[in-house]
Amino acid sequence: MKQPRFRRLGALPLAGIPHAVFATAFVLLYLFPIYWMFISGLKSTAEIFANPPTFVPRQPTLASFEYIFLRENVLRYLRNSLAIAIPVTVLTLLLGSMGAYAMSRLRGRLVDVALVLVLLLQVFPEALLATPMFIIFKSLGILNTFAAVILATASKTLSFALVILRPMFRQVPYELEEASFVDGCTPLQTFRLIVLPIMRVPLIVVGTLSFVQAYGQFVYAMTLMSQQELQPATVGIYSFVGAEYADWHRVMAFSSIFVLPILVLFLFLQRRIVAGLTAGALK
C-alpha cells in the first residue's frame, strides 16, 4: 500500500516552507504588542523613553506592578469589570438563544424586518447611543449602578448574538424536534434538552465574544457611572493618562494584569472557538 507523502511532522514539503515562514512571521507580528506591553511594565520611567528602545528590560523591576496593586487597588477594578461582564454574558446567552431560536423557526416579513433592525443596531457606535441611554437610565433612577452598564452593554451584545445564532439554529434538523414532541416533550423541554446541547459550541463562541466585549466596556462605564469605586478596569487604566503626562510604565503594568483573564479564557477555549466560527462554513 502506498504511503502518503509528508506523513511525518518534520517532513515539510518545500512548497509549504514559504507559507510556514509567512505564518510564523504573521503570528510574531500579531503577538508583538502583547509582548511589548508586558516588558514595558517591567521597565523604569527612564527606560520607557529610551532611544533607541530596548526590547529586553536592562534592569527589570516590579515597582509598577506593586504600585497598581497597593496604591490603585487593581483587584477592585478587575472585580468591577467581572461584575459587568458576567451578567452581560448570561443575559446575552439566555435572551439571545431564545430569540435566535424563535427567529429561526418563524417565517414571514416581520422576522426579516426585525433582523434588519437588529443589524442596524450594530451600526451605531456606543458614543452615539450613550447620551440617550443616560437620559433613559436617569429617568429610571439607575445611574451609577452596575445595572445601567449591564443593560446598555447587553443591548449591543444581544443583537450580535441574534445575528450569529439565528443561522446556526436553522441548521438544527426540525425532525429532531418533531420526534421529541411525539415523545411528549413540551416546546420548552425540546429547546432545553434537544436544541441547546446541539448548539453548545456556537453558544460558547457567542458567550466568549460577549464576555470579551463587556469586559472591555469603556464608553458606557464612563458615561453612566461617575463613582470611582464602581468603575471597571478600562476606566482605571484611563486615569493614568493625563493632559500633559502619562505614566506609561504603570499603564502597561495595569494593562498586563487586565488582559490576563482574557488570555487565559482564549487559551482554554481556543479549539471550541475555532470550531464554532468555522461550523457554518463547513456545513
Which strand (E) or helix (H) includes residue 8? Answer: none
Is the pLDDT confidence value at 9 over 50?
A: no
* Residue with the three cell numbers 439566555: 94
Say what the alpha-carbon torsion angle 269, 275, 278, 281 is, to the nearest 10 degrees.
-160
pLDDT in the model for residue 247: 78
* Residue with the three cell numbers 447620551: 131
Average pLDDT over residues 30-54: 87
| Domain locations along the chain | 67-282
133, 139, 147, 148, 153 from 142: Cα distances, Å: 11, 8, 7, 6, 14
Nine cell digits for residue 184: 411528549
* Residue with the three cell numbers 512548497: 15
Amino acid at 259: V
pLDDT tens for each residue of 84-126: 999 999 999 999 999 999 888 887 788 778 888 877 877 888 8
pLDDT tens for each residue of 156-181: 899 889 888 988 898 888 888 888 88
Say what the alpha-carbon torsion angle 263, 269, 270, 272 is, to the nearest 10 degrees.
-160
Task: Name the CATH superfamily for 67-282.
Answer: MetI-like (1.10.3720.10)
pLDDT tens for each residue of 130-160: 999 999 999 999 999 999 999 999 988 998 8
Least confident of 51-65, 188-202, 268-282: 268-282
- CA nearest neighbour of 198 among 161, 162, 165, 159: 165
Rg, Å, the chain Cα set: 24
